[in-house]
Amino acid sequence: MPTTFFLGYDTTEDGEIIIIEEQAKVVRRIFREFLEGKGCPSIARDLMRDGLKTGKGNKTWTGDSVYKILRQEKYQGHCLAQKTVTLDFLSHKRVRNTDIQPQYFVKNTHPAIISEETFEAAQQEMKRRSLMMRDPDKQYRQHYSGVSPFSNEFFCGECGRPVIRRRMTSSRKGEKYYISGWQCRVTAGRDPDYKDCKTSYVQETDLENAFMKIMREMKENLDEVKQEAKQAIKKASLSPPEQQRLEELNAQIEAITDRISDLAAKESTTNDAIYDATLRHLIYEQEILQQERDSLEDNMQEQLYLEKQFQSLLVLLEETEKLEDFDVKLFKNTVERGIIYKERVVEFQFKCGVKRTICARERKTPRKK
């Protein structure tokens, strides 16, 4: 495992892989801030602002470099071997290993900077953001943004398109004032492919007030919230037969992986057709089992995610004494997405599986600016 330009790691003279703690702090910070809701470009800007360096010693960070760190399995102490392979041994040019040679996932090869739980949570968050950047039916693409707490969070309940933020001007008694509102991008004239939607905009302050009102009601009715969350968790949980099958798959995959590793260690130096056929058969069998296991694992991760978010919501509701002014962190930590319907009816879908609907009306006296 090369450690040259590898943020967080270095190699001793004896070849032992060690953690560089100052660099490891940067890695942990990236994972922490990503799980707190920041996007990769925002994390990159903050790292540059604080003068922190990349693995190559540069002070310039990009969203892509942050993304690659979040995807790097080695930070949990494991190694996926043969990501790249050498095709031309004269030029020594290496290319990405796309079904060219077998890849080997080896556990506990070196010290871990982050836990497996943190790494898996980051991968799940990437999937969630990918889905979140589309409407509930996963049709309309948009860019992830962390500028506003409501960015990428709301969709139109009538046409399904994303809801965007608009800065609007109005007047009262001859005096102009400005408001920020959230409106279906079709109604706002920002969708060239669709025109037939007339959903009203909702003022940003009304969304904020509606959310805080719901949080106060949930705090007053914790037993009801607990019951709804437990039902959502139960619905997402694996059945006993599915749990048993997952354990069987894990055992089968581990056994096949051990056989592949043994074969790789005894790789024939000659063109052995039996050896090649055996190895390819094992790899194919491993891939088939892995696909079934990944499907069950995704369901189990959804269950664990809901349980974790449920406990987090309970803590926030029980520990937060005042629920008056809009709390950005509270919103980002609890809400999965929102749906805006006609007549300014808004549905908040919480990360723990609980849903609440409320009518967010405009204030009679807008705030002057």
What does the domain layout of the chain look like in residue ranges?
9-115, 133-369
What pLDDT was estimated at residue 121?
86
CA distance 260 to 266: 10
What pLDDT was estimated at residue 200?
85
Q: Which distant-in-sequence residues (6+ apart) come within 8 Å of 100 by Cβ?
A: 85, 87
CB distance 199 to 159 below 8 Å: yes
Q: Which of 15, 18, 1, 4 is nearest to 54 (CA)?
A: 4
CATH topology of domain 9-115: Hect, E3 ligase catalytic domain fold (3.90.1750)
CA distance 19 to 66: 19
What pLDDT was estimated at residue 369?
44
Q: Which two tokens stand for residue 70?
A: 């979040």
pTM: 0.64
What pLDDT was estimated at residue 270?
52
DSSP 347: E
CA distance 76 to 119: 7
What pLDDT was estimated at residue 304?
86
What pLDDT was estimated at residue 368?
45
CB distance 84 to 97 below 8 Å: yes
First vs last C-alpha separation in the chain: 58
CA distance 41 to 304: 28
What pLDDT was estimated at residue 14?
85
What pLDDT was estimated at residue 99?
60
Local confidence pLDDT in tens for the 369 residues of the chain: 777 788 999 988 888 889 999 999 999 999 999 887 788 888 999 999 999 999 888 989 998 999 999 999 899 988 877 666 566 556 666 666 566 566 666 777 889 999 988 998 888 888 877 765 554 445 555 555 556 788 888 999 988 888 888 887 777 777 877 888 898 888 888 777 777 888 888 999 999 999 999 999 999 999 999 999 999 999 888 889 999 999 999 899 888 888 877 776 665 555 567 777 887 888 888 888 988 888 888 888 888 888 988 998 998 888 887 888 898 888 988 998 899 998 899 999 999 999 999 998 755 544 444
Query: In the chain, where do the E strands start and end?
Result: 9-11, 17-19, 79-81, 84-88, 93-96, 104-106, 154-156, 163-172, 175-184, 202-203, 335-340, 345-350, 355-359
CB distance 218 to 317 below 8 Å: yes
What pLDDT was estimated at residue 366?
46
